Structure 1
Amino acid sequence: MRSPHWRLILNGKSTGNVDLREAVHALRERGVQLEVRVTWEDGDAERYVAEAIEHGVDTIIAAGGDGTLSEVAETLAHRPEPADALPSLGLVPLGTANDFATAAGIPVDPLEALDLIEQHPARPIDLLNIDADGKRWWCANVASGGFGTEVTVETDEGLKKVLGGLAYLVTGISRLGRIDPIRARLHTPDFDWEGGFIALGIGNGRQAGGGQVLCPDAVIDDGLLDVTVIPELTGEVASTIGALLKGGKQGALEQVAERTRAPWVEIHAEAPITLNLDGEPVQARQFRIECVASRVRMHVHPGSHLLGG
């Protein structure tokens, strides 16, 4: 029987992670052929994925945050082969927020995350495909807009290194007095909404921006987007946004949110708006976001809340 052949694509910011280094050695001692590639500049992940496929790798592991996961997933999604002909996808969460991993229940301990990949077979999951004024993007977790997006974009990298995910909360609190609603129209096959919103989540996963649970019921294998719009509010703004930033207080979210589930959603705005695609801010006046069912195969614990029944 052939030994497993894995390729780990590591975000260059995490090269000094001692726990990851020890975990890689532990898997090698078990007989897993595990090689590491480090991303340094744009295009590295695409090149490493192509190289892995050429070398007959069984599993490609994204080691980093939500952005690293989306970057590796996107390179697989670009391929002409069907999902079952491509290497499976694994994740070792090393980012500041790790929103996808948190919702999926993927351990932050590198050895435990690699154990999960070894122990549980990959299963098909969906990806988001985004057309932004004619340019194409892919997203594995959540496309978010409004207040949360501004918080994520504005949070200082140095602050994130010191405070971790708490940095998003600190930045968010500092912005509470200057929340401006964004005007747009949303359209799905069964849902139309127009007005000003302060937060928008279009989820394959459930949370973004360091713990904002915008799509509490989303799953990654149903072929549908979970869409949540939080309209502009009056005196409730501060308390509601505070609950969103801290996560978990879904009562506040449910009281004000407009929600639907759909295979695609179109967004139209008179002025350019910014959507955060797993850490990648994209600005456009028109977006069309589609759920591409079963586009990659990923190692997720079978009991994960992100898997449908």
Structure 2
Amino acid sequence: MRALLVVNPAATTTSARTRDVLIHALASEMKLEVVTTEYRGHARDLGRRAADDSDIDLVVALGGDGTVNEVVNGLLHNGPDPENLPNFAVVPGGSTNVFARAVGLPNEPVEATGILLDALREERSRVVSLGLAAGTPGTEDEGVPSRWFTFCAGFGFDAGVIGRVEQQRERGKRSTHALYLRQVARQFLSEPHRGKGRITLERPDQDPVENLVMSIVCNTAPWTYLGNRPVFAAPEASFETGLDMLALSKLSMSTATRYATQLLTSTPEKGPHGKHAVSMHDLTDFTLHSKAPLPFQMDGDHLGLRTSVTFTGVRRALRVIV
């Protein structure tokens, strides 16, 4: 087997020594090419190269969710084809590692590597769904390139939080859960449209849902993790179905406290609920419009401001070794 290992040297939870151990373990089982990423988008370029190389059987991402997202977008640059594209695997190296944990891997990279090697020996894999987001035709975002996401996207409040976190990290702050919680509070206090939202959900042959304050699109559950605690924004979301969505129509102090508490105490059986919560399951095609530009994120990567995003849930898009 010929494999490409894409290594993010800035991965927050792996040292150079740990990466060397992981590389040695993988190289003992396959013909391994190791490439260290050098710039933003490099992992995507490497995934694209692997997709176009018929001799590569497997691409492994060693890094966090951002590295995973880039590699997946490179692999699927010509569209999903799980029977003919290289298989994909991940060794968690980031601060949260939602995708790796959602497919059943432990959050510890050495242990995850052992499971990956066992899966390869036993020819164990699964084909997962993915989400695709694109600029909406007929809007100012029409020319925005489409992009795949593996576990979530956000339009509005949560994307604003991620943007704030990224700004803090650029200033040298460590990516910690405390940092995220501080930015949640700051985003809430600065949110100008908490009482009446500006987002409209449109679905084919359905009435629009208007005045949404924020929206979270999930491709799997959990939505994220706080330490070892899974957080379920859309508990029914699954790698075997389309996309799920949780939206809020109000974000006052009382409703924010209520829904934050529900998120923190959520379970695989029960997520946020109430008259200001809009939950939808197994969506295939829908569009979110905003009356003003809002922050947008995919897989925890802040992508700037958008006024309209069209989403597609694509079943059986990627084969993952796990």
Moved more, 165-174 or 56-65: 165-174
Shift of 1:39: 1.3
Distance 1:235 1:42 in 2: 37
Shift of 1:10: 1.4
- Of 112, 122, 125, 2:128 maps to 125
Moved more, 140-149 or 181-190: 181-190
3-state SS in 1 of match to 2:105: coil
1:194 aligns with 2:186: no
- Of 217, 222, 226, 2:236 maps to 217
Shift of 1:12: 3.4
Q: Is the 8 A contact 1:148 1:209 kept in 2?
A: no
Shift of 1:84: 0.8
3-state SS in 2 of match to 1:107: coil
- The residue aligned with 1:58 is 57
Unaligned runs of 5+ in 2: 136-140
Distance 1:62 1:247 in 2: 31
If each structure's helix is expressed as a fraction of its own residues, which one has the higher value? 1
- The residue aligned with 1:178 is 190
Matches within 5 A, 1:86-97: 86-97=85-96
3-state SS in 2 of match to 1:214: coil
Change (3 A) 1:269 1:80: closer
Distance 2:114 2:286 in 1: 37
> AA paired with 1:131?
A
3-state SS in 2 of match to 1:83: coil
3-state SS in 1 of match to 2:83: helix
Distance 1:12 1:214 in 2: 31
Q: Is the 8 A contact 1:96 1:161 kept in 2?
A: no
Shift of 1:130: 1.1
Distance 2:90 2:172 in 1: 21
> AA paired with 2:180?
Y
Q: Is the 8 A contact 1:8 1:63 kept in 2?
A: yes
- The residue aligned with 1:254 is 273
Change (3 A) 1:280 1:158: closer
> AA paired with 1:227?
M
Counting aligned pairs with the same residue, the percent is 23
Q: Is the 8 A contact 2:200 2:211 kept in 1?
A: yes
* 1:26-54 Cα shifts (integer Å, max 9, x gaps): 2333x322332111124422432344342
Change (3 A) 1:254 1:274: same
Change (3 A) 1:280 1:163: closer
Shift of 1:176: 4.0
Matches within 5 A, 1:15-54: 16-29=15-28, 31-53=29-51, 54=53
1:276 aligns with 2:297: yes
* 1:11-32 Cα shifts (integer Å, max 9, x gaps): 2313844323212212333x32
- The residue aligned with 2:82 is 83
Aligned positions, number: 294
Distance 1:236 1:252 in 2: 18
- The residue aligned with 1:150 is 160
- Of 245, 253, 261, 1:243 maps to 261
* 1:238-261 Cα shifts (integer Å, max 9, x gaps): 423543674637867123421112
* 1:268-302 Cα shifts (integer Å, max 9, x gaps): 222122221111324222211001221211123xx
Structure 1 length normalisation: TM-score? 0.83
* 1:62-82 Cα shifts (integer Å, max 9, x gaps): 122211111111111113672
Moved more, 87-96 or 187-196: 187-196
- The Cα RMSD (Å) is 2.7
Structure 2 length normalisation: TM-score? 0.80
> AA paired with 2:278?
E
Distance 1:164 1:234 in 2: 26
* 1:175-209 Cα shifts (integer Å, max 9, x gaps): 44333434111022456310131x31111123556
Moved more, 9-18 or 88-97: 9-18
- Of 165, 169, 178, 1:166 maps to 178
- The residue aligned with 2:307 is 285
Change (3 A) 1:50 1:271: closer
3-state SS in 1 of match to 2:273: helix
> AA paired with 1:154?
R
Q: Is the 8 A contact 1:123 1:298 kept in 2?
A: yes
Moved more, 104-113 or 11-20: 11-20
Shift of 1:151: 1.4
